[in-house]
Structure 1
Amino acid sequence: MLLQQLVNYLSLFNWVMMISAKASIFVILLLGVKFALRAKLGVRYHYMLWSVLLIGLLLPWTPASSVSVYNFLDFSQLQQSIAAIFNQSHQLDYEKKEVQSHLDNTPVAVSTDNKAISTATAQRSSNGVPIIIQLIYIDWFSGVLLLSVLTVISNKQFSAKIGNELITDERLLSNFNNLKLKLKIDTEIPLVRTRYVQSPALFGLFRPRILLPFGFEQTFNSEQINYILLHELVHFKRKDLWVNWIARLLVTIHWFNPLLWYAYFRMKEDQEMACDARAISRITPEQANDYAYTLIKLAETYSSAPRMACIASLGGSKSQIKKRLLMIAKPKKTSVNWLLLSVVVIGVIAFTTFTSPKVSAEPIYNQNANNRQIDGTAKAIDSSSGITIEDITGPTYRGKVMLIQDPKRVKLAVTKNIGITGERVSDFVKDTGAIAGINAGGFYDPDGKGNGAIPDGITLQDGKIVSNNIGDKAVNIAGFDKQGKLVLGRMTAKQLQDNNMREAVTFSPNLMVNGKVVIAGDGGWGIAPRTGIGQRADGTVIFVVIDGRQPSWSLGATLGDLAKVFENYHAVNAVNLDGGSSSEMFFQGKVQNRLWNVFGERYLATAFVVK
């Protein structure tokens, strides 16, 4: 399904939501700064402040920072709400989707049938994206498409009907050309008379024209006409039409965000006032009074120009004209000190709101498309515990591999508040006195709270069943026996205990069994953040966490990619664990990978920790 592939491969809507949330916080703070400095900054600088918002919305990725506001604000409740909508753990349909296999009474990984895995993953893929996400995505994309089509059609229709009746009055054209010379404008800009505008306006990105309504020359004297043309030429000189198009594109993408629409119209108001300020700076103070009178006469004579991105008009509503008249009557001069202060304040606000929470230091990546992973780069070794962390990369992903020499140090941590709320991986590590951890199994979420309260399937901790929401059914488990051997395969709760299992969670599919990759092709689940666990023949446990859904950083990996990583690290057995926004690796007090969720760690039911 094309829509599902778009969601899995690009996660465009998630990026839009995250950047929209960041921009909303920035807009609120920006409006506060503008209000506080309303008497200290000139209108041109007020308009320039909006450029920071446009730049922030255009960035496909922002760096992590220790001063990001998200390091200091607790977004746990909001995070859980978002998780409930966009990152719901997929409730496993064990009868249809898991690999069909049988266990004997010995606690070893069992062989599985490749065809069964392929069928299971194909079924899982068809239902991999919750219907609510698909509906919301369709709603958002439909809104973007509709607004885009309407914008293009309205501009095309307007361009077609305005006609090409050029102004030929020699005196008017002579004055107009003199204004162009003063502003150092060489571009050909025709003056077009049309009945389809009710106020003078600059129109057209690539073929700029100044549109004048019928009767314009008879309504205004030559001096007033010069002021009007000066204003429109200043719009052209400042590239305001380009700014308007970029801003309109951004609010179209973020059409669901009322704060950004409000910011868009406030920016347009500031744009007109900044244009007035620039225009009156080109004339004498006495002429500025005549310029103001021209605005009044314009408001009394004509209505506002159409609200289109391709138009910059001198006119406006009566309230807007009033603000502009007050600005002309009492222009504000901006001191260097206040200007520097505003730049510093806005810079700090932008950096703290558009950056992401601090994670570990930037890894060093060396691309190797043939092996689809990297060995031996950027190692982090804890000699006292035998832990090694390596960076990996492939054509569509970046991630981390953690190698633990002693398998008996790997334990399962389970939320202390089963049925109420989950915990973050950092909480699991801290509470158990561990030094490292990754997310483990999925969680059951019947109420859609997205808070990791109930482990899904069967969960075994320290030899005891701590959670079981599937009764006596056999499910695919991933866990360790008392000798530290990673065991994969289908078991019931009774078989787990009969086979002397120490720790186990429920998840699938298996990636490698007895030294062979058992995933067919790419696995059929698309590209996404991934987490997996495996083991070498010498007992070394392999944690793999792959980042995803972050364009320009890491889109994610397929199940086939994940299996290939384990194969390259010489795993004997390996299994896929919960992924998406759950994927996380934590070591020595820091998140080692780049989390998908801008609000930080997700609340989970279980985690594998290293003590």
Structure 2
Amino acid sequence: MLTLLMANYLSLFNWVLTTSAKASIFIVFLLGVKFVLRHKLGARFQYMLWSVLIIGLVLPWTPNTPISVYNYLDSSHIQQKIAAIVDRTTQSFSTIVNTNKSGVNQTVVVDSNSNKAVVSTETQRPSDGNANSWTAFPIVYKLMYYIWLLGILILTVLTVIVNKQFSKDIGQARVTDLSLLSEFNSLKVELKIKTEIPLFKSRHVNSPSLLGLIYPRLLLPIGIEQTFSLEQVNHIFLHELIHFKRKDIWVNWLTQVLIICHWFNPLIWYAFYRMREDQEISCDALARSRIDTEQSNDYANTLIKLAETYSTVPRVEGLASLCGSNSQIKKRLIMLQNRKIKQASVKWSLLGVLVIGLIAFATFTSAQVNASPALEGRDLNVSQEIRGGQASGLTKGIADSTSGITVEDITGPSFKGKVMLIKDPTRVKLAVTKEIGVKGERVSELVKNMGAIAGINAGGFYDPNGKGNGAYPDGLTVQDGKLVDNNVGEKEVNIVGFDDQGKMVLGNMTANQLEGQHISEAVTFAPNLIVEGKSAISGDGGWGIAPRTGIGQMADGTVIFVVIDGRQPTWSIGATLRDLMNVFEDYHAVNAVNLDGGSSSEMVHQGKVLNKLWNIFGERYVPTAFVVTP
């Protein structure tokens, strides 16, 4: 349970960071559009544009679209670095040496889905200049997480204290002036407001202000009736009642919550500061639309007089005030004098909606991947075989009779995922990036380059030069019977692969030992989950909860691909190693091994990504993939 809660918290933190980054890009574009069209868009419309930012910050999930900016970024370096940092902080680094029941010692290698499995002291590479930073990443990221929580706690406490103290200080002195009450009640009737909004006088407010979410009240500075004429007081009442009618206090509280969650992002602070300015200007525009030309001039004089008489209002989230800073008052006066804006806004509003809508879709959505099974144009049959078990529940199965592949959905206590069954094991091959040491490839590219039908990510990788592009396979890599990469010399590492008869081979081996095993395809990874029908995992596996990828084989030779989604609180948190092992047991695997997971976990079929990737950049660059040939 504790592990599940931690995974939820880290998933929330990852979501906040990702959303904050997307919002920053949107804010820059939004401010640019507002500047270019500042003389074309009406004040109320400009205020409405900020609602797009609010919606983008609160949505727990956004779709993958072809117009996302992340489709067109050369993002391999950024993507790999972000993914690596996130992967390495789901759990702490440690060295794990597992002993399975068959007596084979396993040397654990780099796992980008948890970093709980690392290169043992025997297999670390002295040439890797990033070894120190590698182990520092999870510490730094966890420190960031706790600093973020501390910042939220401090700001929340301060916000509550300031607002409670302010509410306590204002007192309960009701306004008894009949002329003020008459003007106020008349305006309420005119605006069709039935809610009881009492008037109070207080020496602790220096500007007329609306306060309160559930029990709203209008606060007036003492002596306002002597300073302002009854008509000017009427303008003040109108402005504040428009705030109430538009639910601006609710909006202000929501933005304050978002600021607290994203307190580390100065662009969001600035954006909501600008939004509050637009809120007042928009309110002025609505008020002006309800009064004639002569009164409009008097409304402007009221603003000037407020600026001269009262200082800036206190920064209280539950407060909506007519007054503001001198620069804000100046902007509002310019707006009141500019009558062309009101007329021009109608014909430019459509353009503004279109531009901001496109920007929002381009910045808040993720790179396009198709997360639906894609077997169009084939003979599909629903699989009726239901496998019971504690780890997974089969929700549906789709059999592709022309390719001999079955894809099934699985669910567990904290995860959702995909299982792919390949009846003929000799069709499973290893795809390796064409540019080892230069650049990795996406799983979909590896599948396509091999002329294959389907595939999953395979072995782990390391990053000796800090490029973060998935170029360096870790351990021993065998393709078509040839050792194509070896970064461990003659040291033993745990390998997983297939011999030339299609039988799964797993266990500790050296490069020389590979030759005698007739191994056709293999990568290095660990730990083994099931060996010769027996469980090789104790407890939950000790790696925490994360996206997972695994490969196994049944007694009849059927190969099992498993990919489990994670780090998506509204979809799938992830799985432990025991969860993954239980899935293989449910499918009657006699051998099964954990593969690289986390940001790398991916299943592709017919050019489509079947699982839901959490990364905004879409597919990660990896060095190897197990693929299914025609």
Q: TM-score higher than 0.5 here?
A: yes
Give per-residue Cα distances to partners, 1:192-238, cap 9 Å, x unaligned. Answer: 22222222211121222222223322221222112112211111111
Residues 245 and 92 of structure 1, relative CA distance in 2, 3 Å threshold:
closer
The alpha-carbon deviation at position 456 of structure 1 amounts to: 2.3
CA–CA distance in 2 between the matches of 1:148 and 1:125?
Answer: 38
Aligned match of 2:575 in 557, 562, 572? 557
Aligned-partner SS, 1:511: strand
The alpha-carbon deviation at position 259 of structure 1 amounts to: 2.3
Amino acid at match of 1:46: Q
CA–CA distance in 2 between the matches of 1:141 and 1:404?
Answer: 46
Partner of 2:546: 528
Aligned match of 1:397 in 392, 415, 426? 415
Aligned match of 1:351 in 355, 358, 361? 361
The alpha-carbon deviation at position 540 of structure 1 amounts to: 1.4
Larger CA deviation: 3-12 vs 586-595: 3-12
8 A Cα contact 2:91 2:115, kept in partner: no
CA–CA distance in 2 between the matches of 1:373 and 1:527?
Answer: 15
Larger CA deviation: 564-573 vs 437-446: 437-446
8 A Cα contact 1:415 1:606, kept in partner: yes
The alpha-carbon deviation at position 287 of structure 1 amounts to: 0.7
Residue 48 (structure 1) aligned with residue 58 (structure 2): no
The alpha-carbon deviation at position 260 of structure 1 amounts to: 1.8
CA–CA distance in 2 between the matches of 1:87 and 1:163?
Answer: 53
Residue 184 (structure 1) aligned with residue 192 (structure 2): yes
Aligned-partner SS, 2:435: coil
Partner of 1:495: 513
8 A Cα contact 2:42 2:345, kept in partner: no
8 A Cα contact 2:420 2:561, kept in partner: yes
8 A Cα contact 1:415 1:453, kept in partner: yes
The alpha-carbon deviation at position 129 of structure 1 amounts to: 8.6
8 A Cα contact 2:91 2:544, kept in partner: no
Partner of 1:82: 82
Partner of 1:151: 159
Aligned-partner SS, 2:308: helix
Q: How many residues align?
A: 597
Aligned-partner SS, 2:396: coil
CA RMSD across the alignment: 3.2
CA–CA distance in 1 between the matches of 2:281 and 2:390?
Answer: 58
Residues 84 and 395 of structure 1, relative CA distance in 2, 3 Å threshold:
closer
Aligned match of 1:170 in 178, 194, 213? 178
The alpha-carbon deviation at position 461 of structure 1 amounts to: 2.9
8 A Cα contact 1:475 1:490, kept in partner: yes
Residues 307 and 71 of structure 1, relative CA distance in 2, 3 Å threshold:
same
Residue 198 (structure 1) aligned with residue 206 (structure 2): yes
Residues 293 and 91 of structure 1, relative CA distance in 2, 3 Å threshold:
closer
Amino acid at match of 1:352: A
Partner of 1:106: none
CA–CA distance in 1 between the matches of 2:9 and 2:224?
Answer: 55
**Structure 1 unmatched ranges of 5 or more:** 103-109
5 Å-filtered alignment, 1:477-488, equals 477-488=495-506
CA–CA distance in 2 between the matches of 1:90 and 1:198?
Answer: 50
5 Å-filtered alignment, 1:403-422, equals 403-422=421-440
5 Å-filtered alignment, 1:507-546, equals 507-546=525-564
Aligned-partner SS, 1:356: coil
Residues 93 and 208 of structure 1, relative CA distance in 2, 3 Å threshold:
closer
5 Å-filtered alignment, 1:171-320, equals 171-320=179-328
Residues 560 and 570 of structure 1, relative CA distance in 2, 3 Å threshold:
same
Aligned match of 2:392 in 337, 352, 373? 373
TM-score (norm 1): 0.89
CA–CA distance in 2 between the matches of 1:230 and 1:336?
Answer: 24
8 A Cα contact 2:410 2:418, kept in partner: yes
CA–CA distance in 2 between the matches of 1:209 and 1:165?
Answer: 12
**Structure 2 unmatched ranges of 5 or more:** 119-134, 375-381
TM-score (norm 2): 0.87
Residues 422 and 488 of structure 1, relative CA distance in 2, 3 Å threshold:
same
The alpha-carbon deviation at position 486 of structure 1 amounts to: 0.9
Amino acid at match of 2:274: R
The alpha-carbon deviation at position 465 of structure 1 amounts to: 3.3
CA–CA distance in 2 between the matches of 1:88 and 1:12?
Answer: 16
CA–CA distance in 2 between the matches of 1:129 and 1:77?
Answer: 16
Give per-residue Cα distances to partners, 1:415-444, cap 9 Å, x unaligned. Answer: 333334322212322333333221112112
Partner of 2:565: 547
8 A Cα contact 2:243 2:320, kept in partner: yes
The alpha-carbon deviation at position 242 of structure 1 amounts to: 0.2
Residues 254 and 3 of structure 1, relative CA distance in 2, 3 Å threshold:
farther
